[in-house]
A = this chain, B = another copy of it.
């Protein structure tokens, strides 16, 4: 019987693979950054509409005030205009307007059983995609159509996997028990979106929670990890120093130099003392300052992030950083605005659920090796979801789907072996099947 099931899972995946690749490439061609995934949301919605799910979007899917780092009105409007031009119907667009992107999809089998939630993140990055001829999206003509935006973190693949899982649930509805919640989450980059779905309550009655990521380590396709550890707690922040412009030659003393304040801040904050409690990080990733060569710069805008091996360490870094930004402003007699625009916490995966995932994977031929855990050393706002599930008594894990990478995550030449879409899908599908099977026994 296991043979049969195993065959059917792999065959199902093989059959669906061309479709998954097509979804992935379409999304790759049209990357949308956090809170502007208008077309993406619509595409997901369109794909799920024919299936046996109740769909939730806009205010029904998200808690608006729990969103972090929502772009300004101009940027949202501009994105909505582009989405409209890309074919998103006005009626649909108005429902998710103002950065209310993402979809929650719920399927109740009608049979007693556990509630299983799965999360797929859907946003892209502000990265200009490589135009080198050997970059697969160039060769195969699905390179990003949008200047300065790119799916460089595989969320296009995650979304494709999520759609495949939806089809699988729909197609196997009769054989499954319990309830299924699919969360197509916006704005994972910058750790901005998970909280808004968590606060809507989607995870308050979850028994099992599954998430996952393509890549991370250069594992071969066919290898997955049942869990992850060493999520870094993180905070994302923006800083604006505002001074006074002046003619640098005629009246230097009248200037209040925002760029000097920024330089002072950058140098000092790089030197926050390390902590005996564990690893910490600070990065000022972007700075834009000044208006002209001969004008004392009156404005400097920075974006950065802190991280720590746990929340206490991250808070230590964030507090030091914020104080230093205020001190740098004081130093150069300018104003400063410090705003936290995202945060992620740490989390641990449940041993029991990792065991289920590991056992389930044995039922597929395509997954040939399952690691217990992979060390992430990075931040992911799925931690908010994991923590909520666990605090309500459920089990949660975050899987890793092995694939060679052409370049690191967030790099312009980032790409992965598309066969990982299949193993990623199989990991979810096999786990879901196994959870159902286990509980069938339990409920019987």
Contacts and interface: CB of A to CB of B under 8 A. Distances in A.
Nearest to A342: B293
25 contacts: A234-B249, A245-B411, A247-B408, A248-B281, A248-B283, A248-B285, A249-B283, A249-B378, A252-B281, A255-B273, A259-B266, A260-B267, A264-B264, A270-B271, A273-B296, A283-B296, A287-B288, A287-B290, A287-B300, A288-B289, A293-B303, A294-B410, A324-B331, A327-B331, A330-B330
B271 A260 contact: yes
Interface in A212-254: 232, 234, 236, 245, 247-253
B249 A377 contact: yes
Contacts of A284: 259, 290, 297
A316 interface: yes
Interface string A86-97: 000000000000
Range of interface residues on A (Cβ < 8 Å): 35 or more
A231 to B, nearest CB: 10
B285 A292 contact: yes
- What is the copy number of this chain in the assembly? 4
Given A266-B259, A283-B294, A323 B316 contact: no
A374 interface: no
A293 B252 contact: no
A253 B268 contact: no
A64 to B, nearest CB: 23
Contact of A331 (B245, B247, B268): B268
A55 B291 CA distance: 36
Given A247-B410, A267-B267, 11 more contacts: A236-B293, A247-B378, A249-B281, A253-B316, A276-B279, A286-B289, A286-B290, A286-B291, A287-B297, A287-B300, A327-B328
A328 B266 CA distance: 14
A262 B262 CA distance: 11
Interface string A118-132: 000000011100000
Interface in A308-342: 316, 323-324, 326-328, 330-333
A238 to B, nearest CB: 9
A377 B250 contact: yes
A363 interface: no
Contacts of A410: 247, 292, 294-295
A257 interface: yes
B263 A127 contact: no
A144 interface: no
Contacts of A296: 273, 283, 285
